[in-house]
Amino acid sequence: MVYTLTTDGALGSDGEVRLLRTTVLNSLKGPKPVRQHGTSPTSPTPPTSRVLSALRTPTAPRASPRPPSRRLRAPLLVAVALFSCLAASGGVAAADPGDGGGGGVGGGGGGGGGGGWRTAAGAAQSVRPLGDVVPAPASVRPGGKPYAITGSTRIRVDDDSREARSVGTYLAGLLRPSTGYGLRITDDRPGRGHGDDVIRLRLVSGDRDRALGDEGYRLESDRDGVTLTAREPAGLFHGVQTLRQLLPAAVERDSRQRGPWKVAGGTITDKPRYAYRGAMLDVSRHFFSVDQVKRYIDQLALYKINTLHLHLSDDQGWRIAIDSWPRLAAHGGSTQVGGGPGGYYTKAQYRELVRYATSRHLEVVPEIDMPGHTNAALASYAELNCDGVVPPLYTGTAVGFSSLCASKEITYDFVDDVVRELAELTPGRYLHIGGDEAHSTSHEDYVEFMRRTQAVVGKYGKKVVGWHQLTGADPVKGAVAQYWGYDATGAAERAQVAEATKGGTKLILSPADRVYLDMKYDRNTQLGQSWAGLVEVNRSYDWDPAAYLADAGVAPGAVLGVEAPLWTETLSTSDHIEEMAFPRLPGVAEIGWSPQSARDWDTYKYRLAAQGPRLTALGIDYYRSPVVPWPAE
């Protein structure tokens, strides 16, 4: 039996001893060079190395240091004792990135990343602690023997539910390439017990599980198998993402890997904090293909994001075919920032994106930004301009210079046609009408335009979403405002948003200096922008949506959820997307999913570090932030 001390001197979890143990092991190997884009690798001193160095005899006299606090004294002594025992026994070895492990329940550990650790005798510790996932689960109860997926494992779908079978097929598709196992999907009745060497998927409707809601799940693991229970298919799907993260990172590879494939014993009961957990991809400044968007969808699904907001139009490009106005795509979609061919989605391609997102339990929210950000449309049709003259196509990055002609009736024919065709293509509840940075539209014209456009959205059965400037134009009942302000946003603007919430408007929070994924990490970041400041990983994570606008008068219940926008003025490839999104996106996902009481940067950073080998296995070249203790890979 292994015990460890937490920072308050109490007995801690096995996850915490894994953290301490792995940190000490890593300190013996020396620090791992950290890649910061645009700079040479640096070698920051690991926290434990600094602690151990501080306990050594100094080479020169120095003032007596303040002794460590009572709360820190015990864990420091344990660290030194563990260091001494390992050194004396010869039981120190490098982490093995192929075996899983690392990380503590609810975020307490994680030095091991995708790997476990080995003693001198070579015994592998290959079971990742039950709570070592992102987002942090609402409830974790470790206990019992782990379950090992083997060649005889089956995926059993109770009652042959079509929806559950679809999730089972997805799970099998994830696990087969790396494990090499067949993982037959069956609806065979269970034998004694609830296991029988199966991964069991259950959809239930009883009162006992009512608290799980539409997206919650329960994961139960013991030596006989794993059971995932949910009330809706989305819950099963989210449970699969947790199961996936409990397996070694090598499970993400697309070729056969060495196991074992173990899942820790115990029970996770989990559901989201917010119903709306989104990510926006700007396909207008630079166009991204169907396959590139699908790749991003798969990455979002891993972290339980449930909404993909597609920014389909802007000054630089119109990206969706509209039959009644064909030049929008053919001409308005023909370029992008910096020039180049641009592109657009045919209706069939857009439907395929929606279908694919739906299969990953993401709802697509299309955005047509109006009345500003419309140069691509204005360049396509002269009649949309007040002076009847088409402007040239635009490939720069300025904002606020374009506007639909709010005084022309044909403008509203255009709006009606575009909204109608887009609504027909989109099964989701929302349609985003933009409304930001309309600096070339008078206030009176803006209010009238948004009034009429909101009515059109309702006419075709969709709920209105707009950027938070919509709150200055009488949002309709049920409208949602997406707040992208930041620390420099004025009090009057914040008060306007708060006042709208008192009338029933809900908020999606996307503060630019927290979750705009195109903001630079630091001064050396080559991609992205910095107008909202530099946004390191800890800053992106360390805020509470319920409290964010409380000082302006926004009640916690007015917050529908959070969304991480990714603007692409400087991004043109999937590698660019992934460098800027990761590792910040998992933190935004946790903000939207996990209870605030389960969130703390000092523990989250270890769970995030444990995601590093998984991201690598997925082919994601993420930013190695120096504020995260990444494991050696």
DSSP three-state, residue 23: helix
Identify which of 615, 622, 620 has the alpha carbon closest to the alpha carbon of residue 97.
615
Sequence letter at residue 213: G
By the 8 A CB rule, do 113 and 630 touch?
yes
Lookup: tokens for 75 = 């864990």
**Alpha carbon distance 114, 450 (integer Å):** 50
* Annotation says 437 is catalytic: yes
Q: Within 13 Å and on the Cβ side, how many CA atoms surround 569?
A: 18
Lookup: tokens for 436 = 């930001």
Which residue is listed with tokens 């020169």?
60
Identify which of 491, 479, 487 has the alpha carbon closest to the alpha carbon of residue 516.
487
Identify which of 350, 411, 351, 355 has the alpha carbon closest to the alpha carbon of residue 378.
411
**Alpha carbon distance 103, 123 (integer Å):** 19
Alpha helices in 90-226 (DSSP H): 162-179
**Alpha carbon distance 311, 322 (integer Å):** 15
Phi, psi angles (nearest 5°) of residue 222: -145, -175
Residues 6+ apart with CB under 8 A from 550: 556
By the 8 A CB rule, do 376 and 328 touch?
yes
Burial 142-171 (b: 16+ CB within 10 A, else e): beeebbbbeeebbbbbbeebebbbbbbebb
By the 8 A CB rule, do 266 and 143 touch?
yes
Sequence letter at residue 299: Q
Residues 6+ apart with CB under 8 A from 501: 507, 553, 554, 555, 558
List C-alpha distances in Å: 413 to 386, 410, 534: 15, 5, 42
Asked, as a colleague might, if the bond just before 46 is cis with ω within 30 of 0, I would say no
**Alpha carbon distance 417, 239 (integer Å):** 40
By the 8 A CB rule, do 264 and 130 touch?
yes
Identify which of 489, 569, 601, 617 has the alpha carbon closest to the alpha carbon of residue 311.
569
Find the catalytic residue in 163, 352, 437, 499.
437
DSSP class of residue 286 equals S
Phi, psi angles (nearest 5°) of residue 282: -85, 110
Active-site residue list: 437
